[in-house]
Amino acid sequence: MAEISDVYFVDGMRTPFGRAGEKGMYWNTRADDLAVKATIGLMARNTNVPADRVDDVAIAATSQTGEQGLTLGRSVAILAGLPQTVPGFAIDRMCAGAMTSVAMMGASIGSGMYDIALAGGVEHMGHYPIGGNADPNPRFVAERMVDPGALNMGVTAERIFDRFPQLTKERSDRFGMLSQHKAEAAYEAGRFQPDLVSVAIKDAEGTWGLATEDEGRRPQTTMEDLAALKTPFRPHGRVTAGTSSPLTDGATMSLLAGGAAVKELGLAPKMRMVSFAFAGVQPEIMGIGPIPSTEKALKKAGLTIGDIGLFELNEAFAVQVLSLLDHFGIADDDPRVNQWGGAIALGHPLAASGVRLMIQLAAQFAERPDVRYGLTAMCVGLGQGGSVIWENPHYNGKKR
């Protein structure tokens, strides 16, 4: 008889993130192989979880074609050496793909249908640019359901500036610069490295190497540098490459389990899922999506924004994060927010990013027993937002 269960984030690992394109470190690496590496690394670190006990494997990709097609969850499970009795499937919610994988597998565990599951995402934006093979229905534009600009993420970010005059370019530039500085400080402190799976790579000359850290970081960034950048989405606009997440390749994977499996196998979970929510907004201004999804997740959890002690917000664009912070009355430089930097520095391989947020939050929870609740949230193309609230198992109730 199935029983309602707590849902735990036991562990998560990811590949280093690479710059998309011919000069990026993963140009000669297959997308599915990135997901395979993340899966192998995660299972190798959790040897007390028998592989044949995994009930399902959910892997997200935004462009489900070529090497990102063929039911990724199943194909990656086989390639990673999981028993053929382990099923798998693919999922797509654009940028919130991996987050949705975790939410759906978490719901399956919470309802007692599954005991253990793998959930993650992969995106090789070098091989499969966003929307590259998509054919949007002409009714979207012909019947004025969606403005043509809604399919260009940079244009939607410019519209957040239009709607909220208090969100200035200077604030956005400062947020982007600090993301780079915080990410570099976290690297120097060794905070990312434990959760990265090294990947063998081959350059254009056929020379083999090893990818061990995120490739796109620009730690020397200054406000002067950012002020001089072009605004590619609009003449005299406010969105620049320095305040946007770069095009990125990478994969993430997480291990989820229910309360009974945690007890039986002696697992030490890093987080407990409290609630999750997704919400829709106008596609033309998709960046505000995490505001209503966070409000829904807080309501389901019986919490307020003041209960959240750590925030991991996906930096698709700096202005998008600032819109959420302003809405909830949080300062741009609040130390609870993205304390190790974010996607502007580390990269945003679309469907993979949700689990990166969770990996970072889990690592921060271990350092912060004074914090009980954390939030992972992100905006989603075509006008959506996703939010997951987590509880820190290390919480001791003592003030820092």
Residues annotated as part of the active site: 95, 348, 379
Tokens 């199935």 sit on residue:
2
Cα–Cα dist 319/167, whole Å: 7
d(CA 88, CA 76): 8
DSSP 29: S
Burial class of residue 236, CB neighbours in 10 A (0-12, 13-18, 19+):
exposed
The neighbour count for residue 181, using CB atoms within 10 Å, is 16
Residue 131 is classified by DSSP as T
Distance CA 64, CA 230 (A): 32
Neighbours of 390 (CB within 10 A): 28
CA torsion angle 6 306 276 365 (round to 10): -60
**In contact, 116 and 257? CB cutoff 8 Å:** yes
Q: Answer for the pair 257, 267: CB distance below 8 angstroms, yes or no.
A: yes
